Amino acid sequence: MLNSVATGRRVAFRIVLIQLLVAASIALVFLPLGGGASLAAGMGGGGVVLGSAVLALRSFGRSVESADAALLRMLGGMVLKWFVFIVVAYVALARLALPPLPLMAGVVGTTMAFLFAGRLTA
């Protein structure tokens, strides 16, 4: 199977956009519960979206030199993705003292969107 880097970029861009829409939708669902709950859901989903964007930029940022280099870029992107998510979750929970349940709803919903968007866009 041959896949071009441009195709990978397009798929990654679509997945990030779908995740962004889902994160915004989840934040709107929590809006009647108050601004804090909505912000927490938005930050949870936004952390996942930002992490996915970092992973995509890291993985598809340059042209492919070799399979080893592509794998290392992808693994580095995964580490950065988790680092970004942990920082966003820390800020939301420890610094802003936002409620954890809406935050986790945003995280789970946006992560599920990643799984389903990957099947839809491929």
pLDDT at 2: 56
- The residue extents of the domains of the chain are 5-121
51 CB-near residues (< 8 Å, 6+ apart) = 80, 81, 82, 84, 85, 88
Q: Is the pLDDT of residue 59 over 70?
A: yes
pTM: predicted TM-score of the whole model, two decimal places: 0.89
- Which residues have a Cβ under 8 Å from the Cβ of 97 and sit 6 or more positions away? none
Displacement of CA 85 from its chain's centroid (Å): 8
Summarize pLDDT for 60-89 with one digit per residue, the tens: 877 767 888 888 899 999 999 999 999 999
Give the pLDDT confidence score for residue 121 in this predicted structure: 66
* Distance from C-alpha of 90 to C-alpha of 38, rounded to nearest angstrom: 17
Where helices occur in 1-99 by DSSP H, the ranges are 5-29, 35-60, 67-90
Whether 28 shows a pLDDT value over 70: the answer reads yes
